[in-house]
């Protein structure tokens, strides 16, 4: 059963801790919550994110209500490696290949053509799906133990500042979040850069940590 108050689970966020331990009770608990359709907050390289199972319609609905988010806005998704893209996308634009090689894991979200099986709640009816790989140790281990893609929308009410600590998550959402993996304070600053593709060319959707000009240079060099 999911609890009425969020569980705060203190976890190791050291960069050396990237190997999942199946016996780790805190991560196992977070994975269990996710599997029950719950919401788990966890740290990323920028802010705390909110994870639900992206293939669970009820969990997506819960996430929309929790964030008070307009239903036309899509959620971005974390994967642990490029092999998991097959669960989400219908194709991989050629221009994204060098970016994935150089900037993943990292704060770069790429918007791929979405698989037709994905919920409209996940894509916002846009036909695209934003994906990235986080380099944060807690996000990596949590994702590896979950074993599938998971949402990573920022932990904030729509239009408000994103949370940098577990306490800020709890203050914003209270019992709306079922579990918080407390990996300490995140760096904050800018969010991930969001990039789309149109006719083989990069499109800047949201400016962020990774400078758009550096992405353009990489794709020109690879042409």
| Structural domain contains residue 196 | yes
Distance, CA of 202 to CA of 208 (rounded, Å): 15
Tell me which residue range forms the domain holding 98. Answer: 7-222
Q: What is the pTM of this model?
A: 0.91
User: Which domain CATH number covers 184?
Assistant: 3.90.870.10
Classified as helix, coil or strand, 62 is helix
| Per-residue pLDDT in tens (0 to 9) along the chain, 223 residues | 444 567 788 887 765 666 667 668 899 999 999 999 999 999 999 999 999 999 999 999 999 999 998 888 999 999 999 999 999 999 999 999 999 999 999 999 999 999 999 999 999 999 999 999 999 999 999 999 999 999 999 999 988 999 999 999 999 998 899 999 999 999 988 899 999 999 999 999 999 999 999 999 998 876 5
Is 95:202 a contact under the CB 8 Å cutoff? yes
* Domain count of the fold of the chain: 1
| Structural domain contains residue 1 | no
| Structural domain contains residue 2 | no
DSSP code per residue over 131-186:
EE----HHHHHHHHHH-S-EE-EESS-TTSPPPSSHHHHHHHHGGGSSEEEE----
What are the start-end ranges of the E strands in the chain?
7-10, 40-43, 48-51, 77-78, 108-113, 128-132, 150-151, 153-154, 179-182, 193-198, 201-206
């Amino acid at each position: 059963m999911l609890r009425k108050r969020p569980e705060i689970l203190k976890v190791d966020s050291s960069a050396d801790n990237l190997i999942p331990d199946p016996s780790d009770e805190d991560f196992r608990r977070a994975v269990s919550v996710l599997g029950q359709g719950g919401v788990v907050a966890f740290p990323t390289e920028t802010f705390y994110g909110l994870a639900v199972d992206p293939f669970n319609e009820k969990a997506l609905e819960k996430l929309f209500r929790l964030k008070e988010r307009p239903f036309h806005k899509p959620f971005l998704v974390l994967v642990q490696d490029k092999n998991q893209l097959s669960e989400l996308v219908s194709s991989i634009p050629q221009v994204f290949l060098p970016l994935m090689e150089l900037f993943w894991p990292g704060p770069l979200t790429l918007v791929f053509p979405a698989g037709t099986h994905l919920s409209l709640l996940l894509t916002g009816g846009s036909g695209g799906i934003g994906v990235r790989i986080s380099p944060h140790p807690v996000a990596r281990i949590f994702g590896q133990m979950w074993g599938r893609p998971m949402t990573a929308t920022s932990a904030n009410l729509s239009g408000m500042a994103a949370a940098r600590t577990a306490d800020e998550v709890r203050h914003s959402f209270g019992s709306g979040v079922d579990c918080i993996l407390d990996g300490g304070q995140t760096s904050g600053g800018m969010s991930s850069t969001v990039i789309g593709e149109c006719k083989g060319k990069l499109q800047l959707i949201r400016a962020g940590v990774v400078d758009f000009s550096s992405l353009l240079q990489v794709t020109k060099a690879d042409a």
